[in-house]
């Protein structure tokens, strides 16, 4: 029987899961589901959610960019930013959303960094259940 191992690496943490039943992730091109025995694939992460389901339950993460690869029964995720759902500081995310909205307003909506900051803040709030 095929198994799936998940290795998630971010600048400030590493998460490893053995015997994973299912993973859902937001790639730059849309949502992707990964099951044990998945074909090899390489892709770019978007700003979104990463869900890992094992026999012990589900772990949900907010991710913001990076890359992923499925090869030889291992899903490797290299995330630019990663936060577990229970680690998200809602007040900080709300403040980041306000700052990004103000930056966008003052730039007439033309600041690409502010747009990305707003997307990241909204994603963190959505994952935390406050969006």
In total, the chain counts a number of residues equal to 131
> Domain check: are 21 and 61 in the same one?
yes
> Domain check: are 99 and 124 in the same one?
yes
> Domain check: are 118 and 68 in the same one?
no
> Domain check: are 9 and 73 in the same one?
yes
The predicted pLDDT at position 109 comes to 77
76 vs 9: CA distance, rounded Å: 8
Mean pLDDT over all residues of the chain?
94
Per-residue pLDDT of 75-119, as tens digits, reads: 999 999 999 999 999 999 999 999 999 999 988 878 899 999 999
Would you call 127 helix, strand, or coil by DSSP? Answer: helix
Question: What is the CA 61 to chain-centroid distance, rounded?
Answer: 5
> Domain check: are 41 and 76 in the same one?
yes
The predicted pLDDT at position 131 comes to 59
């Amino acid at each position: 029987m095929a198994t799936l191992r998940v290795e998630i690496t971010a600048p400030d943490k590493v998460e490893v899961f053995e015997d994973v039943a299912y993973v859902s992730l937001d790639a730059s091109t849309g949502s992707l589901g990964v099951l044990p025995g998945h074909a090899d694939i390489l892709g770019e992460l978007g700003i979104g959610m990463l869900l890992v389901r094992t026999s012990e339950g589900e772990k949900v993460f907010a991710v913001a960019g990076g890359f992923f690869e499925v090869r030889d029964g291992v899903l490797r995720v290299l995330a630019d930013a990663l936060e577990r759902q229970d680690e998200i500081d809602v007040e900080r995310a709300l403040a980041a959303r306000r700052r990004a909205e103000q930056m966008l307003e003052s730039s007439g909506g033309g600041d690409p960094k502010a747009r990305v900051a707003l997307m990241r803040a909204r994603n963190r709030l959505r994952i935390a259940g406050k969006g």
